[in-house]
Structure formats: structure tokens, C-alpha cells
């Protein structure tokens, strides 16, 4: 079998990835859960991209715990079967170690060598891994920012997987992609940065959304309020009574041990441990293993635990000084609990007698309101609205969208893509020869959630409406919405009326239309 495998890998090297082999099917059958429909669609889309001659550049946008890692694992195995190497980029050492354990366990029955590069690696292990990457002996390398250093050389890198991409800068993500022009790239995120999300919505990158929750998954019950020691004690004791574990987040290393003393006096019944990024590698690794082995009841940690950790027995999260954290951080932290069948609870406390800034107030209100399953895309879209889209060709990952306007930008982008393809823009004259109307109308025009519930579907409808270039396109979209969702409410009809006015005004070279409220 080994001879046949390596012979097949040598014959297919340098060609598009082959169809699934018997070993690929065997590996996929070892997945201990039932795939959701969204997960299967994403898996098929990734396979189709890898089997085509065009390099893959796909974003997998799915909520925490929705199975993005399984998609990455299957893509990595498919690449290895074609004699390509795989680089998996993770933002933290803890997450890299967890991925290494997952990949090693699932791929143990197959002749695949998986290694990890992080600060947990000894100098000897690191030297052996680097030599294996350069010679081709290492098939899959999972690492942190260490993968981006110049001494890391791959013999035949075919697939780059970026997990939790919102934690990396543009230059960091492009460093590995620059190693090879035809490199397949798979990006995973529950809350993509505005720049990445906008590129996917605009069609520059392919995107799959995973909105179907796993079986028996329950939404995390969320509490936001001022610091309350009594409530903290009750939350920890309740978790202890059902033999569960608790995350307590305090993102200040200088004062984390003082908080530990307060918690030990508050809940003497619990066993505590501390974890943060400035600890020695061996001590941090030992602490995380102890928590995973349920030898610790409460893990007092910084935001080092916010990304990707899978601890199904931890179902209570307490965040201290939540007003100091960003919206994505808050959401990622909440994703550390509720990954099993038990009801999970998240408490976000802010300092008493302290006036919150307007931005902190908006973040906390958003995390409280977005408490349903699959809210990650909602969070990312809210972040896109607040921070803007960023620069497609530069390094800035966010910026003021109002400077250009999303609708105008989509039109500019669509026309430029058509020009490069040699296709004339349909309907309207090219943008530089046509007027761009400014509409200021006192109407309530939007697609309500109770009319079109799936967030991804609403985004697609908005995108199609923004790209519509003729009234006929708008009318066709109206008929489609009637057929799929029933008679549209007034807010949707107003939205379509505004779209028709915009198109007609642009054709007549009208610069602006304003109607004062009476």
C-alpha cells in the first residue's frame, strides 16, 4: 500500500489535485460527528477549487464550533495525497498545539508526517522540522508566526490554511503566499476582518458561510452588567455542582495574581490555575493540560485562550473589565463555552462607577443582542459598518467606508472586472461617462429579518441589488423574492423603489434627488 501511495503521489505531482482516493474516503469516515448541510457544501466547494487549475482563495465563514477545522483537515489530507506540503498558520501557541493534536490523531493511520513549529518546540525538534520541510519529509506543518520567518523553506508548498485570520496582518498573511504564485489558500474565521469580508462580498474572493449549528447545540445565555462578586460566586458554584469548568478572563498580566487571591477567597471550594502569554512554555503547557484533564475548576487567563480552543466541559465564561476588549475579542471569548450539549453562560462585567465610552457601550450592547446561534457573521458585518472596508491593495485592514460608499465602490469594481475580461458593462454607460446620483429620500428601505431570516441570504440580496444596472434586473429580483419569501413588506418595496430611481437617475445623468420631510 505504501509503494502504491507514493507511486501515485509521484505521478500526480505538479498536476491539479486528483479526485478522492479510497484513503481520503476512509479518513473522512473517521469524523465522529454528522456533517451539517452547510459543512458539506463548504467541503465540496473546497474540493472543487483544489481540483481546478485556478489557485484557490476561499474564505470559510462559520461560527465558533461549527466544524471549520474539519474542512481544513480534509483539504490538508487531499493536498498531501498529491505530494504537496501544507502550512497551517495559527495565531497562538496554545491553538497550534491543539491543531497538532487533532491532525496527529486523525491522520495517525496514514503515512502522513505532521509537525509543529512554536515556542513549545525544543531547539532539536525545531531543527528536525525545518530540515524535514526543506527535504519534503514533513507533509503538514502547523505553526504560529514562526512559520513566517526566513529560515522556514518548503520543498513543495501547495496549500496554506490560515486559522482565525482576523488575528494576522496583511503583510503576515502575504508572506507565505509570496513563496509560490499558484498556492491554494484557505482562510477560516468566525468574525473576518472588514477587509476580508468585503473582498468576499464583492466577489474578489470565494466565500462559504456555515449557518447550520451542530446537533443539540444551545445558544449561550449572556449577561452584561457592572462587576458583581456575589453573582461571580454563584456562577462558579453552579458550574461546580454539575462537574463543569469555568473560564475567568482578566486581560492584565500585572494584576492577574491579585485577582487570583480575590477569587480564591471568594470561592474557596474551587481549584484555580493561571494562564497567560508571559509564562514559561513548560508551565503554560502543563496548565493547559491540567485544565483539559479536569484537574482545574477555574482557569484564570488572559485573552490567550480566546482563539479556537475546544473544551466541551467548560460551560461558564466570566470576563472582567469587558469594556477594555474589542467586539471580536468578546465574541471569540464567548465561543470558548457552549461547545457541548450543556447550557452555557457568559458574564461580561465592566467596572462599577466608571462611565463607559460610546464605543465600549456599543460593543457591549452588540455582544448582548447578538446572542443567538450563528451570530458571528452579524458581528463581522457590524464591525464592517463601524470600521469600514480597508484597502484592497494596501495593508490597511479597515477604513471609512463613507469616503466612497459601498454601492458606488461595487459599481466601480464590477465595471473594472468586466473591462479586464473584455466585456462591456451591461445597461449603464461606463462609470466615468455617467452621472453618479446622490439620493436623499425620507424612506425606510431595508430587508427585515422576519422576511428573510438567514443572514447570508440577506447579504446576497443586498449585493445583487447594489450591482443591478437596469430596472429589468430590479423587477426580476422582486419576482424572485415574491416566489421565495412571499409578498414583500413595505420596507422591501421602498428599497426596490430607491434602486429603480437610482438606475433611472444615472441613465438621465441626474446628479442628486432630494425630497424634504414634511
What are 98-148's pLDDT values in tens digits? 889 889 998 988 889 999 998 778 889 999 999 999 999 999 999 988 888
Report pTM. Answer: 0.60
Distance CA 424, CA 331 (A): 43
Distance CA 370, CA 379 (A): 7
Q: How confident is the model at residue 363, as a pLDDT?
A: 81
Long-range contacts of 9-14 (CB under 8 A, 24+ apart): 9/81, 9/82, 9/83, 10/83, 12/82, 12/83, 13/82, 13/83, 13/84, 13/156
Structure-model confidence comparison of residues 402 and 502, the more confident one? 502
Q: Is the pLDDT score of 414 beyond 70?
A: no
Q: How confident is the model at residue 413, as a pLDDT?
A: 66
Write the burial class of residue 85 (CB in 10 Å: 0-12 exposed, 13-18 middle, 19+ buried): buried
Strand, helix or coil for residue 239? helix
At 361, the pLDDT band (50, 70, 90 cuts) reads confident
Average pLDDT, the chain: 79
pLDDT above 70 as % of the chain = 75
Of 69, 203, 92, which is closest to residue 143 (Cα–Cα)?
92
Q: How many helices (H) and strands (E) does the chain have?
A: 18, 15
Distance CA 246, CA 481 (A): 45
Distance CA 482, CA 486 (A): 4
Contact 298, 267 (CB under 8 A): yes
- In 215-307, which ranges are E strands? 221-226, 245-249, 272-275, 298-301
Distance CA 299, CA 260 (A): 10
Q: Is the pLDDT score of 174 beyond 70?
A: no
Q: Is the pLDDT score of 301 beyond 80?
A: yes
Mean pLDDT for 345-349 is: 94
Contact 50, 137 (CB under 8 A): no
Dump the DSSP string for 409-463.
HHHHHHHHHHHHHT-PPSSSPPGGGS---EEE--------TTTS--HHHHHHHHH
pLDDT digits (tens, 9 = 90+) for 33-52: 778 888 889 999 999 989 88
At 470, the pLDDT band (50, 70, 90 cuts) reads confident
Q: Is the pLDDT score of 160 beyond 70?
A: yes
At 18, the pLDDT band (50, 70, 90 cuts) reads low
Q: Is the pLDDT score of 7 beyond 60?
A: no
In the 3-class helix/strand/coil scheme, how is 54-112 assigned residue by residue? Answer: CCCEEEEEECCCCCHHHHHHHHHHHHHCCCCEEEEECCCHHHHHHHHHHHHHHCCCCCC
pLDDT digits (tens, 9 = 90+) for 365-407: 878 876 665 555 555 555 555 455 454 444 444 454 445 555 5
Q: How confident is the model at residue 33, as a pLDDT?
A: 76
User: Can you give the length of the chain in residues?
Assistant: 518
- Which residues make Cβ contacts (< 8 Å) with residue 66, sequence separation at least 6? 36, 38, 39, 190, 210, 212, 213, 214, 374
Q: How confident is the model at residue 400, as a pLDDT?
A: 47
CA atoms within 13 A on the CB side of 119: 15
Q: Grid coordinates standing for 207?
A: 466565500
pLDDT above 90 as % of the chain = 23
Distance CA 362, CA 388 (A): 16
Distance CA 173, CA 185 (A): 10
pLDDT digits (tens, 9 = 90+) for 429-463: 444 444 557 676 777 788 888 888 877 788 778 87
Structure-model confidence comparison of residues 57 and 514, the more confident one? 57
Amino acid at each position: 500500500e505504501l509503494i502504491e501511495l507514493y507511486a501515485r503521489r509521484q505521478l500526480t505531482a505538479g498536476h491539479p489535485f486528483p479526485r478522492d482516493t479510497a484513503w481520503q474516503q476512509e479518513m473522512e469516515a473517521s469524523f465522529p460527528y454528522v456533517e451539517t448541510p452547510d459543512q458539506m457544501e463548504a467541503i465540496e466547494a473546497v474540493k472543487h477549487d483544489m481540483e481546478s487549475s485556478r489557485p484557490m482563495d476561499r474564505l470559510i465563514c462559520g461560527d465558533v464550533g461549527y466544524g471549520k477545522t474539519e474542512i481544513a483537515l480534509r483539504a490538508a489530507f487531499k493536498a498531501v495525497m498529491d505530494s504537496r506540503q501544507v502550512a497551517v498558520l495559527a495565531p497562538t501557541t496554545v491553538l497550534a498545539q491543539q491543531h497538532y493534536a487533532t491532525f496527529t490523531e486523525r491522520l495517525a493511520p496514514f503515512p502522513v508526517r505532521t509537525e509543529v513549529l512554536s515556542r513549545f518546540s525544543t531547539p532539536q525538534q525545531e531543527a528536525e522540522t525545518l530540515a524535514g520541510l526543506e527535504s519534503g519529509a514533513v507533509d503538514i506543518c502547523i505553526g504560529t508566526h514562526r512559520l513566517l520567518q526566513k529560515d522556514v523553506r518548503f520543498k513543495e508548498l501547495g496549500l496554506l490554511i490560515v486559522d482565525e485570520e482576523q488575528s494576522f496582518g496583511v503583510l503576515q498573511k502575504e508572506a507565505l503566499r509570496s513563496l509560490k504564485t499558484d498556492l491554494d489558500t484557505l482562510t477560516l474565521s468566525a468574525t473576518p476582518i472588514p477587509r476580508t469580508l468585503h473582498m468576499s462580498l464583492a466577489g474578489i474572493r470565494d466565500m462559504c458561510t456555515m449557518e447550520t449549528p451542530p446537533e443539540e447545540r444551545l445558544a449561550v445565555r449572556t449577561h452584561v452588567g457592572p462587576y458583581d462578586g456575589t453573582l461571580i460566586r454563584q456562577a462558579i458554584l453552579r458550574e461546580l455542582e454539575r462537574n463543569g469548568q469555568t473560564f475567568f478572563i482578566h486581560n492584565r498580566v500585572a494584576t492577574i495574581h491579585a485577582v487570583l487571591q480575590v477569587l480564591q477567597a471568594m470561592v474557596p471550594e474551587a481549584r484555580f490555575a493561571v494562564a497567560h502569554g508571559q509564562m514559561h512554555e513548560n508551565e503554560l503547557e502543563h496548565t493547559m493540560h491540567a485544565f483539559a484533564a479536569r484537574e482545574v475548576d477555574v482557569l484564570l487567563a488572559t485573552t490567550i485562550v480566546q482563539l479556537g480552543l475546544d473544551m466541551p466541559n467548560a460551560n461558564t465564561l466570566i470576563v472582567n473589565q469587558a469594556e477594555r476588549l474589542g467586539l471580536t475579542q468578546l465574541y471569540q471569548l464567548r465561543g470558548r463555552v457552549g461547545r457541548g450539549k450543556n447550557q452555557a453562560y457568559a458574564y461580561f462585567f465592566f467596572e462599577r462607577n466608571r462611565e463607559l465610552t460610546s464605543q465600549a457601550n456599543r460593543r457591549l450592547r452588540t455582544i448582548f443582542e447578538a446572542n443567538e446561534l450563528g451570530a458571528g457573521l452579524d458581528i463581522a458585518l457590524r464591525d464592517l459598518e463601524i470600521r469600514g472596508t480597508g484597502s484592497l491593495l494596501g495593508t490597511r485592514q479597515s477604513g471609512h467606508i463613507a469616503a466612497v460608499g459601498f454601492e458606488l465602490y461595487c459599481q466601480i469594481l464590477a465595471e473594472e472586472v468586466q473591462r479586464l475580461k473584455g466585456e462591456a458593462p451591461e445597461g449603464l454607460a461606463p462609470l466615468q461617462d455617467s452621472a453618479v446620483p446622490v439620493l436623499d429620500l425620507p424612506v425606510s428601505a431595508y430587508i427585515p429579518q422576519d422576511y428573510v431570516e438567514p443572514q447570508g441570504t440577506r447579504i446576497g440580496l443586498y449585493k445583487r441589488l447594489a450591482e443591478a444596472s437596469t430596472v429589468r434586473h430590479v423587477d426580476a429580483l422582486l419576482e424572485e423574492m415574491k416566489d421565495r419569501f412571499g409578498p414583500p413588506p413595505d420596507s422591501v418595496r421602498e428599497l426596490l423603489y430607491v434602486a429603480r430611481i437610482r438606475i433611472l437617475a444615472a441613465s438621465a445623468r441626474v446628479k442628486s434627488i432630494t425630497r424634504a420631510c414634511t
